[in-house]
Amino acid sequence: MIVLGVDPGSRVTGYGVIDVAGGKESLVEYGVLALSGADSHQLRLKQIHDRLLAVIDRCLPDVCAIEMPIYGNNAQSMLKLGRAQASAMLAALSRDIPVIEYTPKEVKKSVTGNGNASKQQVWFMVRSMLSVTADDPKMGLDASDALAVSLCHAHRGDSKGGARYSGWAQFIKQNPGRVGP
């Protein structure tokens, strides 16, 4: 199963694609869509849509996992973030790819074990899980957040063939090679 993860933003949108096979995740592609602040909000939304379509056409994901905006101090910022999320969702849905939403806490807990983890902790764990070197210039916080969304979907499982675990004991039993010193 190929999973496209998206961390939507109105200025920077992170994306990450992983391949999940045999209980293991491997990195396919990741990066950020850096959007020009000089462009109008509407043009940035179109760029998110068009550039994610290019990623989708290259990587052919089976599912799109996206982080959903939950709360913010500024209503205008939240509106823009919601529109960026909708633009990303529309890109996937226009290619008949199902979209699954995850809260930031679900994503953080899935990759770090702590729903209140910092972005740096998520970055560290994603790099560790997918064997990405610390000096890779493409692996910023937005790209690692998007890959974390992909990994969250892979770990949560669904009716599309992902694994489901009732707890850490079951995960360790089914994945003995993934847990160690």
Out of 67, 136, 145, 158, which one is annotated catalytic?
67
Whether the pLDDT of residue 113 is over 50: the answer is: yes
Output the six-digit token pair for 99.
């979209």
Out of 39, 57, 136, 142, which one is annotated catalytic?
142
Q: Are 112 and 19 a contacting pair, CB within 8 Å? A: no
Catalytic residue list contains 67? yes
Cα–Cα distance measured from residue 7 to residue 85, given in angstroms and rounded to the nearest whole number: 8
For residue 78, the model assigns a pLDDT of 87
- Which of 89-98, 133-142, 157-166 has maximum average pLDDT? 89-98
Look up the CATH architecture of domain 2-178.
2-Layer Sandwich (3.30)
Catalytic residue list contains 142? yes
How does residue 76 score in pLDDT terms, banded at 50, 70 and 90?
A: confident
More confident residue, 13 or 157: 13
Phi first, then psi, for residue 159 (nearest 5°) are -70, -5
More confident residue, 181 or 45: 45
Mean pLDDT of all residues in 114-121: 89
- Residue 160: which residues within 8 A CB-CB, separation 6 or more? 1, 62, 63, 98
Catalytic residue list contains 7? yes
